Amino acid sequence: MAAMNDLSSTPAQDPERPQRVRKPEWIRVKAPVSKGYHETRKLMRDLNLNTVCEEAACPNIGECWTKKHATVMILGDVCTRACAFCNVKTGMPRIVDPLEPEHTAAAAAKMGLEHIVITSVDRDDLPDGGAGQFVKVIQALRRETPNTTIEILTPDFRGKMRPAVEAICEAGPDVYNHNLETVPRLYPTIRPGARYYASLRLLEEVKSHDPLIFTKSGIMLGLGEQRLEVHQVMDDMRSADIDFMTMGQYLQPTPKHATVMDFVTPKAFTAFGAIARAKGFLQVASSPLTRSSYHAGEDFAQMRAAREAKLAQKQTQKKAGREI
Ligand code: SF4
């Protein structure tokens, strides 16, 4: 039986643990049956768009799609990497769909989205890693739905990071998200094609290119990480000036994927969230069902308000300093 990880426990990798364990009651979600869910599904099919909601078998799909909130996954549905936690197909991807930017913008317009999250598979096969398609999607959204705020969740663009990040930042997304996924010790087994410090550097690069773009990153808990390793990731993220941290429970999509080592309790998630807030993030989301794009619109509004409040406070302090 996997441990229920409260803050007192310190999980460790144990190869003797069983492959699949019963989910605790706080993880169970209702089957998606609502009218809104079916409408969102139909719209995505009609526009030939993929979503990470379906491809990653996200547990929140019923709730999000009912509210017409879907995360569009561009650049196809086949990934060139094979991360141990991810349900997306691996292999040789098909050619890039030139209509995808317009279709994504059409979906945002039809759903009347105030905030949209766009992600993609890894495309190590493309010379720009797929950055150009992100740019086209952002441009199409700005044209068709100028009031929609845009959040992108990109791959690490291994070997071509700097030009990719520069091009995307020039296009001007509101939020740039890139997930660290787990603690550095677990990279060789969980995220073997990626490098922890390269991912941190990518997020630093976004800030140095345009400090006004909010940066966001997240990790999954329950993969065997230790409590202090999670705190270290928080410190690393703050050193890279990341604004928003997300933490959610890892769920094993199929028996072939990495085993759930621990189900972290809601209480422990709350405690991790409090520590992250104390470390200075503008926004933190930490709960078993937190995913990068879960409640992304509401969280974006709060993060923007938090930045404005911080800036106003700084100005007041500066003014008070001048008057002394
Ligand atoms: S949390 Fe994100 S990936 Fe999951 S269903 Fe909601 S929008 Fe889709």
Alpha carbon nearest to ligand 1 atom 1, residue:
294
User: Ligand 1 within 6 A of 265 CB?
Assistant: no
Alpha carbon nearest to ligand 1 atom 2, residue:
293
**pLDDT in the model for residue 28:** 81
**pLDDT in the model for residue 7:** 44
**pLDDT in the model for residue 150:** 98
User: Ligand 1 within 6 A of 53 CB?
Assistant: yes
d(CA 316, ligand 1 centre) in Å: 39
Residue 249 has pLDDT above 50, yes or no: yes
Residue 257 has pLDDT above 60, yes or no: yes
Q: What is the pTM of this model?
A: 0.91
User: Ligand 1 within 6 A of 293 CB?
Assistant: yes
Residue 220 has pLDDT above 80, yes or no: yes
Of residues 135 and 324, more confidently modeled: 135
Asked which of 10-14, 212-216, 239-243, 261-265 is least confident by mean pLDDT, the reply is 10-14
Three-class SS string for the chain? CCEEECCCCCCCCCCCCCCCCCCCCCCCCCCCCCHHHHHHHHHHHHCCCEEHHHHCCCCCHHHHHHCCCCCEEECCCEECCCCCCCCCEECCCCCCCCCHHHHHHHHHHHHCCCEEEEEECCCCCCCCCCHHHHHHHHHHHHHHCCCCEEEEECCCCCCCHHHHHHHHHHHCCCEEECCCECCHHHHHHHCCCCCHHHHHHHHHHHHHHCCCCEEEEEEEECCCCCHHHHHHHHHHHHHCCCCEEEEEECCCCCCCCCCCCEEECHHHHHHHHHHHHHCCCCEEEECCCCCCCCCHHHHHHHHHHHHHHHHHHHHHHHHHHHHC
Question: Taking residues 300-316, what's their average pLDDT?
Answer: 94
Question: Taking residues 268-281, what's their average pLDDT?
Answer: 98
d(CA 141, ligand 1 centre) in Å: 20
What is the atom index within ligand 1 of the atom nearest the CA of 293? Answer: 2
How high does pLDDT run on average in the chain?
A: 92
d(CA 286, ligand 1 centre) in Å: 15
Alpha carbon nearest to ligand 1 atom 3, residue:
53
User: Ligand 1 within 6 A of 291 CB?
Assistant: yes
pLDDT of 189-213, one tens digit each? 999 999 999 999 999 999 999 999 9
Asked which of 31-40, 98-107, 160-169, 220-229 is least confident by mean pLDDT, the reply is 31-40
User: Ligand 1 within 6 A of 64 CB?
Assistant: yes
Confidence of residue 33 (pLDDT cuts 50, 70, 90): confident
Question: Taking residues 221-243, what's their average pLDDT?
Answer: 98
Question: Taking residues 61-81, what's their average pLDDT?
Answer: 94
User: Ligand 1 within 6 A of 294 CB?
Assistant: yes
Question: Taking residues 22-48, what's their average pLDDT?
Answer: 90
**pLDDT in the model for residue 21:** 65
Q: Which of 71, 152, 216 to mutate to test the pocket of ligand 1 (most atoms within 8 A of CB)?
A: 71
pLDDT of 120-137, one tens digit each? 999 999 999 999 999 999
d(CA 246, ligand 1 centre) in Å: 13
